[in-house]
Chains A and B, each alone.
Chain A
Amino acid sequence: MRRRVVVVGYGMAGARLAEEVRRRDPGGGAVALTVLGAEPHAAYNRVLLSSVLAGGLAADAVRLHEPGWAARCDVDVRTGVRVVGIDPGARRVVCDDGATLPWDDLVLATGSRAWLPPVPGLATPDGAPADGVAVFRDLADCRRILDLAASGSRVAVLGGGLLGLEAARGLAGRGVPVTVLHPVGHLMERQLDPGAGQVLAGTLRGLGITVRLGVRAREWRPGRLECDDGSRLDCAAVVVAAGVRAQTWLARTAGLAVESGVLVDDRLTTSHPRVHAIGDCAQHPGAVSGLVAAAWEQATVLADLLTGADPAARYHGTPTVTRLKARDLDVAALGEVHADQDDAADPSVEVLWFSDPARGRYAKLVLRDERVAGAILLGAPDAAARIVTLYDRGAPAPSDRLALLLGRALPPEVEPVASPALLPARAVVCRCSAVTKGRLVTAWWAGARDVAALARATHAGTGCGGCRDTVDGICGWLAAGDPAPAAPTAKEVVA
């Protein structure tokens, strides 16, 4: 008997779960899978919406599955179908098209929705965005924002968090004038400390984006945004990026335990043993909601459990790494970013800082027992990549903290030797034939006075040819001194 699994939600979590189930059960012998999606189109990659907004990707390019995928993989995908109720006792879901589906296991992957702050004029009476207002959550929102911005007039972005800044950068890159209004004193305050927020604001301003901090919207009237400091912003549209809320209505009405999300354990199981939740709608102590990495790891674990591929599989959380995905904005933040000098009084804690606002660079590293506990990196992309790797793996940090903090911003380790005179005699000049400076000097004194003659005598420069300039330099150095420099002593040319 096949286990009947119904997935509510065909977004990134639900789609991934379907793939992972079929990867483990390719013939469909173990699990009969139904996926219900409220949006009218197939699942798409929400992470890439900022690329769609920025213009790099077409809307079609972010679809997760090619046409025919569902049929080929024996997944009953129903799009445009909203679930209106679930009955855990009877193990049924009821859909808005009248269908009632039985299940053995139910998976909630209902995601989250954009939150509209209670600012007069932003929402219509039924809670939808008002004229000139868009949220930034799904593909339709993306189209709406681009339509609203098409006039080329100014767009206000409410919220200087990750999504708001990606939207702002995308629109600015299209030549749209953008103002970001952020209610807190520095940008991305959940992920950045005040110093980093200031540097980031400077970088955004350099990209032509107006940033206003500590300012809230008071009222929206089409064409005009009133702010709580009494100022007024003329703009064609408002993009609201003020955070998201987990979609938990179904779970609540079914009597499942819900806080800010549907509570799940390490098996991704809710308070009902046959109902599970993954992705943005789920609340697990080890994961911050809203990150796709967590949703995908949860889908993998749940697929192991539902198919029986690994009954011991458990989800233990996902380390949170925030990376802003936008051109010319290199922002990485992870772990304990708010540690400061006081924490550094603890001998097991080190806090390192570097700040270079004029060049848009900021680096902060928090180490606990030699391991990366937190970091903020702005404008130091290669350092960010390395620190994230250390953080993810829990590996000890290298002893050269400065190089770790700054990455390639440091000068190269080895300065080029200015003069051949400074090379030691045993230095290998030609790697391809293992020829030292000492041998070249000896050959020069024996009569090989140019690059070609030295090549014949020592084979230097006959491999990759990369040392010919150096060999030429040695010739020149010796010739300039000839006959002044004494012939080298035997000791100097040994090597």
Chain B
Amino acid sequence: MPEVATHCPYCALQCAMTLADGVTGGLAVSPRPFPASRGGLCHKGWTAAALLTGGARLSGPLLAGRSAGWDAALDAVAARLRALRARHGPDSVAVFGGGGLTNEKAYLLGKFARVALGTSQIDYNGRFCMSSAAAAGIRAFGVDRGLPFPVTDLAGAEAVALVGANVGETMPPFLGHLRQAVQVVVDPRRTATAVQAVASGGLHLAPAPGSDLALALGMLHVAVAEGYLDQPYVDARTTGFDAVWRLAARWWPERAERVCGVAASDMRAAVALLAHAGSAYVLTARGTDQHARGTDTVSAWINLALTLGLPGRPGSGFGCLTGQGNGQGGREHGQKADQLPGYRRIDDPAARRHVAAVWGVSPGELPGPGRSAYELLDALGRPDGPRALLVFGSNPVVSAPNSRHVAQRLSALDLLVVADPFGSETAALADVVLPVTQWAEEEGTLTNLEGRVLRRRRAACPPPGVRTDLEVIAGLAVRLGQPASRFPPDPAMVFDELRAASAGGPADYGGISYQRLDAGEALYWPCPAAEPGGPAHPGTPRMFLDGFAHPDGRARFVPVDASGPAERPDAGYPLHATTGRVLAHYQSGTQTRRVAELSAVTPESYVEVHPDVAARAGLADGDLTRVVSRRGVATARVRTVASLREDTVFLPFHFPGEQAANLVTNPALDPVSRMPEFKVCAVRLERVP
């Protein structure tokens, strides 16, 4: 096979790589020069091709645990779905998607749910990643694109704040963009990211888990009290500052310090660093998003950035670092409960008319908004909840909060269908497993963390007996009575339809084509279709330079006050538990735990504990311990970490079974984004008897 230029299967940085025949068989990975990844790859990227040749793949559908032919499997699924719909109505069937699915899959899955199933019950695991950032971005700027500027702009920054972002583990090549910048890292833990920031002259602020809002408000207070408020910018380009200040005025830094534990002097130093830099950025990630007040927490950091006059200025800005490979595109094209393609709202009559016309249905046939991810999972098998669930590209048994409860809900279903390249933990519970292709076996597009649309290309033949997700969706749609032309299995055809469906929406892909992408054009949405006879739209690398996406062109300050976390430590559960990622693994580990080289680095879960806390619990480094919350128990090996806060323990969430961190996490939901509070809950440590 000739060399194929594609991108890594994992995170949203989408490092460019070339796949070629390896000397010892299989495919060999090599990094490819590319602006966003700077020719870099981390361990996950280098070893990605191991997934293509490992023996972990399914070779055909499983029906009730037994091998079955595709026709038999799809016929059986369609028959059950038809029966359930006839008896219990269309919302008795639900769909759960993923932020790793290509744009084409995300789009067709959303259309499948609304048109072929007629269900409102569709959501996806991106709800657990970026939903707070998305909601806050839309509130403030009128539109949500994680980074509204090319990531390479960061290379010119003098100062960058990384808030709840551990890029040193999650997307290492990203750090290459920050070599010139003094960094302020906000994280309860002394992460790899924090270590390198301090080593290069930056600051590490370590708030107590769940106290981020108080810290952000304290820093906004400092910005105003120390004279860093950019009044001309605030006057000309924003609204709502006064109401924000009324709340931040009560968070003088010494008061915020008492809540979050970050020294007032460090808040002053951090704000001064950002304010004095000629070019500064504030970037947030999951540590900011994954709270029951996640949307407000992101808003609080946006407020700080607006106070300093950063967003929408060349060389400065605010951004959210997307996590999953297609976390950006995945939230734009309709697999989210409240959305239609092009980042349109499903409750917007004009959006419904436009999309219904593209789909050839009447607007009235489209269902309304459905349940959010956790609420959907929680409703499964209940009297008013869905009785069947189709899962594509997600492993909620490991990745959803309160996961023991989620597994119970899944087992209460009449029918669970899982389409996955591997035998994931969720697939293990399924009535029907549909083996599908993975990254290097298929064509499509993804939208990276900066809103640039990238081509994923096929470099390997899928194993026999495996179909693409698009083929699965098409096969089911036809069996449910849809015309085949409405659900083409060809990604290029799906993309062309996506262009039309997104046209005119906030995330307008109308002018983007496989042809332009294959010619090497760097296209960032919005990229509308050309006027007849006019030149092609160049895309929008930098948004907001002329104005924000609200009708008045101004960014909106959103008043937020500090509270939380939803569950505080008490006598019975005296520690904060927080969860996160490690370099060697990705998401629920379905892929990376199957790569021997990665598993060798981090073979099992662990819990980081301060040495004093471990000693008081009678635990030593390397002991197994039970991490107990009100919801469940995770078992993990103790790693004592002297730099950790004494009130906090940390668990990576990539591991299944008894090691699953989400057995203990709190499903308290953000009122706006419906994001669960992954980042903080109350636990105690117990010795394993």
Q: What is the interface of chain A, defined by CB distance below 8 A to chain B?
A: 45, 47-48, 51, 56-57, 61-66, 293, 321, 323, 325, 330, 381-382, 384-386, 388-390, 392-393, 395-396, 398-400, 413, 431-434, 459, 462-466
* Complex A-B: 18 CB contacts under 8 Å: A48-B225, A56-B227, A61-B245, A64-B250, A381-B265, A382-B263, A398-B646, A432-B40, A433-B46, A434-B43, A434-B583, A462-B173, A463-B172, A464-B167, A464-B173, A465-B173, A465-B179, A466-B168
* B685 CB to nearest chain A CB (Å): 14
* A376 CB to nearest chain B CB (Å): 15
Is residue B266 contacting chain A, with contact meaning CB distance below 8 A? yes
Per the bound structure, the CA–CA distance linking A47 and B225 in Å amounts to 13
Is residue B174 contacting chain A, with contact meaning CB distance below 8 A? yes
Is residue B66 contacting chain A, with contact meaning CB distance below 8 A? no
Per the bound structure, the CA–CA distance linking A386 and B266 in Å amounts to 12
Residues of chain A within 8 A of B687, CB atoms compared: none
Task: Among A51, A330, A389, find the residue whose CB has the most chain B CB atoms closer than 10 A.
Answer: A389
Among A47, A386, A398, point to the contact of B261 (Cβ < 8 A).
A386
Is residue B331 contacting chain A, with contact meaning CB distance below 8 A? no
Q: Are A61 and B264 in contact (CB under 8 A)?
A: no
Q: Are A323 and B264 in contact (CB under 8 A)?
A: yes
Is residue B226 contacting chain A, with contact meaning CB distance below 8 A? yes
Q: Are B225 and A385 in contact (CB under 8 A)?
A: no
Per the bound structure, the CA–CA distance linking A55 and B294 in Å amounts to 34
Per the bound structure, the CA–CA distance linking A126 and B38 in Å amounts to 76
The interface bits of chain B over 173-189 (1 if a CB of A lies within 8 angstroms of the residue's CB, else 0) are: 11110010000000000
Q: Are B225 and A431 in contact (CB under 8 A)?
A: no
* B212 CB to nearest chain A CB (Å): 15
Among A48, A56, A385, point to the contact of B264 (Cβ < 8 A).
A385
Per the bound structure, the CA–CA distance linking A293 and B159 in Å amounts to 34
Is residue B249 contacting chain A, with contact meaning CB distance below 8 A? yes
Q: Are A385 and B647 in contact (CB under 8 A)?
A: no
Among A323, A382, A393, A464, point to the contact of B647 (Cβ < 8 A).
A393
Per the bound structure, the CA–CA distance linking A325 and B46 in Å amounts to 52
**Closest A-B pairs by Cβ, 7 of them:** A463-B172, A381-B265, A464-B175, A464-B172, A385-B263, A323-B254, A56-B225
Residues of chain A within 8 A of B555, CB atoms compared: none
Per the bound structure, the CA–CA distance linking A396 and B612 in Å amounts to 9
Chain A residue at minimum C-beta to C-beta distance from B600:
A434
Q: Are B46 and A462 in contact (CB under 8 A)?
A: yes
Residues of chain A within 8 A of B257, CB atoms compared: 323, 385, 388
Residues of chain B within 8 A of A385, CB atoms compared: 257, 261-264, 266
Residues of chain A within 8 A of B18, CB atoms compared: none
Q: Are B258 and A392 in contact (CB under 8 A)?
A: yes
Per the bound structure, the CA–CA distance linking A380 and B584 in Å amounts to 38
Residues of chain B within 8 A of A62, CB atoms compared: 249
Residues of chain B within 8 A of A459, CB atoms compared: 41, 43, 46
Task: Among B192, B208, B246, B643, find the residue whose CB has the most chain A CB atoms closer than 10 A.
Answer: B246
Chain B residue at minimum C-beta to C-beta distance from A57:
B225
Residues of chain A within 8 A of B610, CB atoms compared: 398
Residues of chain A within 8 A of B261, CB atoms compared: 385-386, 388-389
* B474 CB to nearest chain A CB (Å): 39
Besides A47-B252, A323-B258, 15 other CB < 8 A contacts? A45-B249, A57-B224, A57-B225, A395-B647, A399-B612, A399-B615, A432-B40, A433-B43, A434-B584, A459-B46, A463-B41, A464-B167, A464-B172, A466-B168, A466-B175
Residues of chain B within 8 A of A65, CB atoms compared: 246
Q: Are B647 and A66 in contact (CB under 8 A)?
A: no
Q: Are B263 and A381 in contact (CB under 8 A)?
A: yes
Given contacts A323-B264, A462-B40, contact A61 B174 (CB under 8 A): no
Task: Among B265, B266, B584, B610, find the residue whose CB has the most chain A CB atoms closer than 10 A.
Answer: B265
Q: Are B263 and A61 in contact (CB under 8 A)?
A: no
* B228 CB to nearest chain A CB (Å): 10
The interface bits of chain B over 36-51 (1 if a CB of A lies within 8 angstroms of the residue's CB, else 0) are: 0011111100100000
Is residue B616 contacting chain A, with contact meaning CB distance below 8 A? yes
- For chain B, residues 632 to 654, give those with C-beta under 8 angstroms from any C-beta of chain A: 642-643, 646-647
Is residue B550 contacting chain A, with contact meaning CB distance below 8 A? no
The interface bits of chain B over 554-588 (1 if a CB of A lies within 8 angstroms of the residue's CB, else 0) are: 00000000000000010000000000000110000
Among B40, B225, B227, B254, point to the contact of A463 (Cβ < 8 A).
B40
Residues of chain B within 8 A of A400, CB atoms compared: 642
Is residue B83 contacting chain A, with contact meaning CB distance below 8 A? no
Is residue B196 contacting chain A, with contact meaning CB distance below 8 A? yes
Q: Are A431 and B583 in contact (CB under 8 A)?
A: yes
Per the bound structure, the CA–CA distance linking A57 and B225 in Å amounts to 5
Per the bound structure, the CA–CA distance linking A382 and B266 in Å amounts to 8
Chain A residue at minimum C-beta to C-beta distance from B559:
A66
Residues of chain A within 8 A of B276, CB atoms compared: none
Per the bound structure, the CA–CA distance linking A396 and B615 in Å amounts to 12
Q: What is the interface of chain B, defined by CB distance below 8 A to chain A?
A: 31, 38-43, 46, 167-168, 172-176, 179, 192, 196, 208, 224-227, 242-243, 245-246, 249-250, 252-255, 257-258, 261-266, 569, 583-584, 601, 610-612, 615-616, 642-643, 646-647
**SS class of chain B's interface: helix, strand, loop or mixed?**
helix
Residues of chain B within 8 A of A64, CB atoms compared: 246, 249-250
Per the bound structure, the CA–CA distance linking A293 and B254 in Å amounts to 11
Task: Among A325, A389, A462, A464, find the residue whose CB has the most chain B CB atoms closer than 10 A.
Answer: A464
Per the bound structure, the CA–CA distance linking A61 and B224 in Å amounts to 9
Residues of chain A within 8 A of B584, CB atoms compared: 434
Per the bound structure, the CA–CA distance linking A325 and B249 in Å amounts to 14
Residues of chain A within 8 A of B172, CB atoms compared: 431-432, 463-464
Per the bound structure, the CA–CA distance linking A64 and B196 in Å amounts to 41
Per the bound structure, the CA–CA distance linking A465 and B243 in Å amounts to 44
Given contacts A61-B224, A389-B261, A395-B647, contact A463 B250 (CB under 8 A): no
Per the bound structure, the CA–CA distance linking A178 and B584 in Å amounts to 60
Chain B residue at minimum C-beta to C-beta distance from A392:
B258
Task: Among B46, B225, B601, find the residue whose CB has the most chain A CB atoms closer than 10 A.
Answer: B225
Q: Are B168 and A66 in contact (CB under 8 A)?
A: no
Q: Are B226 and A56 in contact (CB under 8 A)?
A: yes
Residues of chain B within 8 A of A398, CB atoms compared: 610, 612, 646
Per the bound structure, the CA–CA distance linking A57 and B223 in Å amounts to 11
* A31 CB to nearest chain B CB (Å): 21
* A471 CB to nearest chain B CB (Å): 14
Per the bound structure, the CA–CA distance linking A204 and B350 in Å amounts to 66
Q: Are A466 and B196 in contact (CB under 8 A)?
A: yes
Residues of chain B within 8 A of A389, CB atoms compared: 208, 258, 261, 647
Chain B residue at minimum C-beta to C-beta distance from A321:
B258
* A230 CB to nearest chain B CB (Å): 39
Q: Are B254 and A61 in contact (CB under 8 A)?
A: no
Given contacts A45-B249, A464-B168, contact A381 B46 (CB under 8 A): no
Q: Are A464 and B176 in contact (CB under 8 A)?
A: yes
Residues of chain B within 8 A of A330, CB atoms compared: 264-265
Among A413, A431, A434, point to the contact of B168 (Cβ < 8 A).
A431
Q: Are B254 and A325 in contact (CB under 8 A)?
A: yes
Chain A residue at minimum C-beta to C-beta distance from B29:
A459
Residues of chain A within 8 A of B253, CB atoms compared: 325
Residues of chain A within 8 A of B249, CB atoms compared: 45, 48, 61-62, 64
Residues of chain A within 8 A of B643, CB atoms compared: 413
Per the bound structure, the CA–CA distance linking A459 and B42 in Å amounts to 8
Per the bound structure, the CA–CA distance linking A385 and B176 in Å amounts to 33
Residues of chain B within 8 A of A466, CB atoms compared: 168, 175, 196
Among B38, B176, B601, point to the contact of A434 (Cβ < 8 A).
B601
Per the bound structure, the CA–CA distance linking A51 and B250 in Å amounts to 13
* B569 CB to nearest chain A CB (Å): 8
Per the bound structure, the CA–CA distance linking A306 and B646 in Å amounts to 38
Residues of chain B within 8 A of A434, CB atoms compared: 43, 583-584, 601
Q: Are B265 and A462 in contact (CB under 8 A)?
A: no
Q: Are B246 and A66 in contact (CB under 8 A)?
A: yes
Chain B residue at minimum C-beta to C-beta distance from A391:
B258
Chain B residue at minimum C-beta to C-beta distance from A45:
B249
Chain B residue at minimum C-beta to C-beta distance from A398:
B612
Per the bound structure, the CA–CA distance linking A61 and B616 in Å amounts to 48
Residues of chain B within 8 A of A381, CB atoms compared: 263-266
Task: Among B38, B172, B173, B610, find the residue whose CB has the most chain A CB atoms closer than 10 A.
Answer: B172
